[in-house]
Amino acid sequence: MLAKQLVLSCVYLPCHSAGTDYEVELSSVLARLEGTLDKYSDCVHIVAGDYNFECSASHKRYNMFSDLVSTYNLECMDNEQDDCGYTFFHETFGYKSWIDHVFPSYPLHKWLTNFKIVDSGCYNGDHNPTISWSLNWGSFREANSVPIVKNVQQHRRTYQMCWDKADFVLYYSLTGEALQRIEIPKHVLFQSGNGEDHIELYYNNIVQALCSAGNMTVPRIPIVP
């Protein structure tokens, strides 16, 4: 089956935290990204942006991300033959690194061409402003001989909520607003009929409000088997 749609995810991964705080923060971001990849599993994906790490096994930060790359058949588009060779440059310290990346689904990467890092004097920031590439989407969709290969592992990572790192102020604010909007089925107290359906709906609305607030305020970390 060929994909009918393309999902483009732009990411900015954490960089200021370190140690356990970084692992918790990155795991939470990866959990949301994995949710997007799962939700649109019948599409092809491009995950691009500022990763704040180089794609090397010597970098612990990349190793945390590489599990997701392997699970969802993403391909790294880093091109060592690029004339520029870096995406970040700290002029004061003379430090250069390649921390901005593009990860398309397999085999979509075969239709990404003209990959180039633009190093322009017109931009005064630390990051080179553009990683440019061309995507021949029409040819990709017409290539019926090349199916979308899914390599989603049977046993995906399981995440647990890390409540000690939660934003409780925002959590209580969100739950308060959501719970106040839920209509209480008071009429079931005065009717003689069976009100189980109304009570179940009321219960499900409460659970959904709490879960939605938790998804926005409580980071997730993977459970190590």
* Among the listed residues 121, 123, 122, 84, the one whose alpha carbon sits nearest the alpha carbon of residue 100: 84
Tell whether the model's pLDDT for residue 133 goes beyond 80.
no
β-sheet bridge partners, residue 105:
74
Percent of the chain beyond pLDDT 70? 72
**Residue 85's pLDDT band (boundaries 50, 70, 90)?**
low
Cα 159 to Cα 11, 60, 146, 152, 185: the distances in Å are 20, 19, 34, 17, 34
Whole-model pTM over 0.75:
no
Q: What values do phi and psi take at 121, rounded to 5?
A: -70, -5
Give me the pLDDT at residue 147, please. 47
pLDDT 10s digits, 182-214 = 998 888 877 777 778 888 899 999 999 998 888
**Taking 80 as the threshold, does the pLDDT of residue 90 lie above it?**
no
Whole-number mean pLDDT of the chain?
77
Q: What is the CATH number of domain 6-142?
A: 3.60.10.10
Q: What is the mean pLDDT of residues 124-138?
A: 64
What's the pLDDT score for residue 125?
53
Peptide bond into 107 cis (omega under 30): yes
CB 4 within 8 A of CB 43: yes
| Domain ranges for the chain | 6-142, 161-222
Closest CA to 48 of 126, 5, 137, 108: 108
- More confident site: 154 or 38: 38
